[in-house]
Amino acid sequence: MVHPYMRQSHHRENGMETAEEISSKIVNMLDRLHAIVIGPGLGRDPLMLQTASKIIEAAKKKGMPFVIDADGLFLIQNQPSIVYNYTHAILTPNVAEFARLCKAMGIEQSDGGEACSRLAKAFGGVTIIQKGPKDYISNGKQTIVCDIKGGFKRSGGQGDTLTGCLATFLAWKKAYQDRLWAHDNSLSDSELITLSAFGAAAITRNCSRLAYEKKGRSMQALDLSAEVGNAFKNLFESEEPKL
């Protein structure tokens, strides 16, 4: 279902709607959700960004996990305090976005996952997925690498597969913690977030490889969506994962 509540400045009703009024409609829906994604398609209109920041604050009060990507990262680089010290937040920057976040937080970039770890720590323990030839995942205390084989082309919009898978895993995280099925409840909140990040990165990389094998250089981001089910089966349902 699509709820067209978000507004750019020139689309506000009667030219008078405030970010508080617009965000309240979305905040009222949060109790029905398990995780949210903020950023893809958001744009950089001031009213839109103000609305998004209010939704983030409301989600934090409810302890909801959320993913920040694309233009949401533009908001964060200019207002780092919005996610500071909120360990249920996951940022998914590409190379350029990662560089801008590092600059905003005074972090010197370096090879490997060191910069990712320092940036996560500077944000007070948020989880960061630094996308690249290898995906580095860090919460400032622990850094892991997802280097599962991907395709030979990275299409614009490919990150949407990552954020969508990540939101799904975060929703399953809540289901795990609510004990919707029988398990030993041995995984901590931090471990669940890290596993969600790794799982989403792994699926996205496998989707990219599968799509590239079929489409080659003509592969587009949408082609990854058709491979999500196959990638999940390859990685998590097969006796021998096809990496």
User: CA-based diameter of the chain, in Å?
Assistant: 59
Q: Residue 135 corresponds to which tokens in the numbers above?
A: 């995906």
Name the residue among 150, 152, 193, 190 with its Cα closest to residue 172. 193
3-state DSSP call for residue 70?
Answer: coil
Is 112 assigned to a binding site?
no
Residue 241 counted as an annotated binding residue: no
CB contact burial 35-58 (16+ within 10 A = b; e otherwise): bbbbbbebeebebbbbbbbbbbeb
Say if residue 134 carries a ligand binding annotation: yes
Determine whether the annotation assigns residue 155 to a binding site.
Answer: yes
Is 69 annotated as a binding-site member?
A: no
Establish whether 23 is an annotated binding residue. no
Q: Is 150 annotated as a binding residue?
A: yes
Known binder of ligand: residue 125?
no
Cα(122)–Cα(84) distance, integer angstroms = 8
Contact, 158 vs 224, CB < 8 A?
Answer: yes
184 known ligand binder: no
| Residue 85 annotated as lining a ligand binding site | no
| 229 annotated to a ligand binding site | no
Ligand-binding site membership of 72 (annotated): no
- The enclosing H or E element of 137 equals strand 135-138
Q: Is 43 annotated as a binding residue?
A: no
172: exposed, middle or buried (C-beta count within 10 Å: 0-12, 13-18, 19+)?
A: middle
Question: Does the annotation place 157 within a ligand binding site?
Answer: yes
For residue 27 the two structure tokens come to 């905040």
Is 131 annotated in a binding site? The answer is yes
Residue 15 annotated as lining a ligand binding site: no
Residue 226 known to bind ligand: no
**41 known ligand binder:** yes
CA–CA distance from 114 to each of 17, 56, 128 (Å)?
A: 44, 28, 12
**Residue 47 in contact with residue 12, Cβ under 8 Å?**
yes
Q: Which residues define the annotated binding site?
A: 41, 94-100, 131-135, 150-160
Q: Which residues define the annotated binding site for ATP?
A: 131-135, 150-159
Q: Which residues define the annotated binding site for (6S)-NADPHX?
A: 41, 94-100, 160
